[in-house]
Structure 1
Amino acid sequence: MLHAGAVVDHSPLPPIGRPPGAPADCQARHLVLSVFRWHRGDPGDPAELLSGFLDDNGLPVRNLGRTGDKKQTIGDGTICGAALYVSADAGSVMAGGVIGARSPVPGIPDVYAVLYGHASDVMPIKDISGGAVQPWSLGPWRDSWTRAEHAHAVEQVRAAIGRGDVYQVNMVGHASAGYTGDPAPALRRIAALSGARYGGVLTGEGWAVATASPETLVEVRDGRVVTRPIKGTRPATAEGRRELLASAKERAEHVMIVDLERNDLARLPGTGPVRVDELFAVREWSGLWQAESVVSADLDGDVGLADLLRAVCPGGSVTGAPKLAALAQIAALEPVGRGVSMGGLGWIGPGHLDLGLTIRTVAVDGHRVHAWAGGGITADSDPDAEVDEAAAKAGPLRAALRGR
């Protein structure tokens, strides 16, 4: 049975990189069986439509806590699993929040799932163009706001916090640059950045997304659901580590998001007690220290994919608290849509789910490269420091795209 937005496509998309989160034992053997697409403005509940598509095509997602690891079959192929991407806009729709400015990459669906089978032979990784005439060249970056405009948005968030409208809001800026040549090697450099837990590339018709995300939006495995929020950044130096560990502001911001994530998991039906397994652990990502916590709960009842996505999307570390109030601030203040950033991207298999948060993520649309970066704003935020932090997060992406 096909659902709205679903198409059957037995021609494999260009394998320019491994799908994020795909199991290691089936690398380079991904054969496309069918594709699901949902765009902002399309009718229907995207979480339910996606669940129906996957479940009806042989990938059980109605009870994630009790799925086994047995391979499913469809037609003549064995189902490996599905790559899944959910945009920030789709997450806002699922959560019942306000959606903001439209994506600068409108050709990329807001929900995109590719159901894969196993090809009989290894499929070699190729470039998008099959050999571009022009060498890869990246033009100058064009930012969605100036430093002064970004700093002013920070001040507006601080004013909203002072009024009691919100406790914390994540502000994100967008930048794009024109390019010539084949972007595939540059996208693979992004996916290979140090600390990329979800490094990979997802390709569609006329577009591609590459991520170096270190952050787990949600993972379900062996009857347990886990999220790993990251909040707090410093340069990866000895002094930067000391500053991060000693910062009362960063720790308060981080704990606020951990509490939000605990609440998100507690909303799931049939979950056991939610616990914080690790708090404010400092880890490195491509020249930056970042603080990460681990929040988990046992899945004791029937929890489906739709329930899970509604509970955790969009991720608390890239929205703020309370989440719906933060989404309203984001919609009012950010001049350019978040596009592929601040959403979820990863893998659903017959026995597990693992979605990374699409921070440290770029997209290409045939003409331009798009990237996003930002940070959490609290009452104690310094506007200039917040602008500098966003630039620091974008730096490794821009360097990788240029080939450095």
Structure 2
Amino acid sequence: MLSNVKTTYFESSLSSYEIYRAVEKGDDYILLDSSKKDSKYSRFSIMGANPFLSVKYENGIVFEKDYRLGEKEWREVEVDSIFNHLNRLLKKHKVKNGTDLPFVGGGLGYFGYELSKELENIPESAESIVDVPDCYFVFYDNAVLHDIRSNMVHITALGILQDENESMLELENRIWEYSPGRSLPVWNETEKPVFSSPFSRSEYMEAVESMRKYIEDGHIYIANMTHTFTSFYDRSPEDTYERLRHINSAPFSAYMPLDGFHILSSSPERFLEIRNKKVQTRPIKGTIPRGRNPEEDEENRIKLKNSEKDKSELLMIVDLERNDLSRVCVPGTVKVTELFELEEYATVFHLVSTVEGMLKDDCSSVDCIEAAFPGGSITGAPKIRAMEIIEELEKTSRNIYTGSIGYLGFDGNADFNIIIRTVLLKDERAYIGVGGGITWESDPEMEYVETLDKARALFKALDADYVEDRCKSDQSLYKAHGGRCSCGNQ
């Protein structure tokens, strides 16, 4: 057990992503990126350096790669559950955080949505279209934090792999010596990726109608209906993320170059923050596209703020989140501190609420995540029945989409997003999940259009087109882009 952590700091004119490029050395160097500077929830970008342990959970088995032992391959570890294993790792390396920094050491990683089916015993029926671990965390000897408001860079050291002062000096020198010299990547328009969904427009609308019938029959009040756009994709993940953070900046973004795949996230939504035992969740429900001019922008802003349907959706999810937090928080402390707040992003406006509470003394950050996972805003209410219906109606499994990316601190702190507005890259293919909340008042066609509104910023960042009915729906577009489509046919 470690009792404290060493830190140093200095001022830098580099952006968070430039600092990350100076620090990273390839796979397992993760960036949690507060890329939307004008958000009150953007403050620190956090990156791990000098990993000493990687942990992943796939096919019901926990694997580890211990860099202290010089391991280059994964080895199986016998444990009772991934959550208990993470709890043990956090306790083993527990530190005291005597700073104002949110993170001074620990693990960066994600919990994929598919993990929730195991937690809630949901039978699997949807087709799996990509294979990545259900959970993946990397634990670091050093952390680098960029305060985007003050331009201060903080470096922390645990002394697990290397002397604390030596490791901090090495990282500081790499940042000072880094020369950006890069412009935003520009790609050849004749080689655009073409995305398509397993759902045509009419098929998605039929699935929404089926969900509405479940609501009419009293099974659920609300559920989240999603689909995944896929395409051939062979462009640089680093260049793609640089464009994504520029085009669709968000407070809970992330760049994750992991073993065999990449995750590029520009999520606007916080799932859970635990800091000094205070818990916060910020569910999003309610979306409208940005206007084509300032006048239309303001008109859409007012329309969303006055939408009884969207406010009703958000209120149901707020109630669900209050119940989830009450399982791990001190009785009487769970409160709604913000209701129906409007936030704006590159292509959409959102309605957001905030629920807070105080974590019980005998509950850890991992316990809190396990109790509330997955977020109610991307499942529905009641949660378990909504998840069963989602599994029935969605054609493909969500995989990491609608899971959570963030950090688990050795000091007990944690902060996780909801994995939306996110691109998964693996084996020269890209996967983009989009969806929305369905209530009895939902209009199926409008729900489909809303998913396209949410995907638009990602398609723009990837300089991509999409087809609604797979390659069959538009042979001219299919042929114009080299005969590459998500169905895999040439």
TM-score normalised to the size of structure 2?
0.70
Question: What amino acid is aligned across from residue 108 of structure 2 in structure 1?
Answer: A
Equivalent residue for 2:114? 89
Equivalent residue for 2:456? 395
Question: What amino acid is aligned across from residue 32 of structure 2 in structure 1?
Answer: P
Matched ranges for 1:317-396 at <5 A: 317-351=377-411, 352-396=413-457
Q: List runs of 5+ in structure 1 lacking aligned partners.
A: 2-10, 61-66, 72-77, 127-133
Please, which of 216, 226, 237 is the counterpart of residue 270 of structure 2?
216
Matched ranges for 1:174-253 at <5 A: 174-236=228-290, 237-253=297-313
Q: Deviations over 1:371-392 (max 9, x none)?
A: 0000000001000000000010
Equivalent residue for 2:213? 159
Matched, 1:31 2:31: no
Deviation at 1:30, TM superposition (A): 1.1
Q: Distance in 2 between matches of 1:320 and 1:399?
A: 29
Q: Distance in 2 between matches of 1:169 and 1:26?
A: 32
Q: Is the contact between residue 69 and residue 350 of structure 1 (CA under 8 Å) also seen in structure 2?
A: no
Matched, 1:116 2:127: no
Q: Deviations over 1:150-202 (max 9, x none)?
A: 10110000000011111111001001111224232112322444451111201
Q: Distance in 1 between matches of 2:30 and 2:244?
A: 11
Deviation at 1:333, TM superposition (A): 0.7
SS in 2 for 1:50: helix
Distance 1:138 1:303, change over 3 A: farther
Name segments (4+ residues, structure 1) moved above 6 Å. 21-26
Question: What amino acid is aligned across from residue 34 of structure 1 in structure 2?
Answer: L
Question: What amino acid is aligned across from residue 110 of structure 1 in structure 2?
Answer: D
Question: What amino acid is aligned across from residue 52 of structure 1 in structure 2?
Answer: R
Q: Is the contact between residue 193 and residue 199 of structure 1 (CA under 8 Å) also seen in structure 2?
A: no
Q: List runs of 5+ in structure 2 lacking aligned partners.
A: 2-23, 36-41, 63-79, 143-166, 180-186, 291-296, 466-490
Q: Is the contact between residue 34 and residue 115 of structure 1 (CA under 8 Å) also seen in structure 2?
A: yes
Asked which structure has the greater RCO (Cα within 8 Å, sep 6+), the reply is 1
Deviation at 1:87, TM superposition (A): 0.4
Distance 1:35 1:29, change over 3 A: closer
Deviation at 1:16, TM superposition (A): 7.5
Q: Is the contact between residue 105 and residue 141 of structure 2 (CA under 8 Å) also seen in structure 1?
A: yes
Equivalent residue for 1:307? 367
Question: What amino acid is aligned across from residue 19 of structure 1 in structure 2?
Answer: L
Q: Distance in 2 between matches of 1:181 and 1:399?
A: 14
Q: Distance in 2 between matches of 1:269 and 1:100?
A: 34
Identical-pair percentage: 30
Question: What amino acid is aligned across from residue 113 of structure 1 in structure 2?
Answer: F
TM-score normalised to the size of structure 1?
0.84
Q: Distance in 2 between matches of 1:17 and 1:29?
A: 6
Q: Is the contact between residue 272 and residue 300 of structure 1 (CA under 8 Å) also seen in structure 2?
A: no
Q: Is the contact between residue 81 and residue 115 of structure 1 (CA under 8 Å) also seen in structure 2?
A: yes
Q: Is the contact between residue 70 and residue 350 of structure 1 (CA under 8 Å) also seen in structure 2?
A: no
